[in-house]
Amino acid sequence: MRTLGLVCGLAMSVVSTGAAWGFNCPVVIKQAEDLIKKAEATKPSADTRPLIDEAKKFVAEAKAHHEGAKTKKDHGDAVRKAKVAAAYAEEAIVLATP
């Protein structure tokens, strides 16, 4: 009986945690923005400037998807675009590192 209670409690915490993680768009967008700032702090070159610009474009699109979200798919689109923005910013950082 004690084991059943423990299993049920664990299952409930997993379910409630899943709901809390459902729409984490602002967190992912903030991470992308921080990476863009870090990329801009390096000396942008002709190789990295287009990557930073592309990252900014994707962050703007992510914000628009999040703010106008009506469905879970809209939130998913926002997270995906923020992750793409982060990837562009990370690439710029890697290229700027000697």
Locate the domains of the chain by residue range: 23-96
| pLDDT in the model for residue 11 | 41
> Is 0.85 surpassed by the pTM of this model?
no
Question: Which residues touch 85 (CB under 8 Å, ≥6 apart)?
Answer: 32, 35, 36, 54, 55, 56, 57, 58, 59, 62
State yes or no: pLDDT of 16 exceeds 60. no
Nearest Cα neighbor of 85 from 20, 7, 9, 31 is: 31
Q: How distant, in Å, are the alpha carbons of 51, 94, 95, 97 from that of 46?
A: 10, 14, 11, 14
Question: Which residues touch 68 (CB under 8 Å, ≥6 apart)?
Answer: 74
Computed from CA positions of residues 68, 74, 76, 79, in that sequence, does the dihedral angle turn out positive or negative? negative
The string of pLDDT tens digits covering residues 39-77 is 999 988 999 999 999 999 999 999 998 988 899 998 999
DSSP classification of residue 97: -
- Compare 22 and 63 and report the one with higher pLDDT: 63
Measure the CA dihedral 80/86/92/96, to 10°: -160
What confidence category does residue 22 fall into, taking pLDDT thresholds of 50, 70 and 90? low
- Compare 33 and 5 and report the one with higher pLDDT: 33
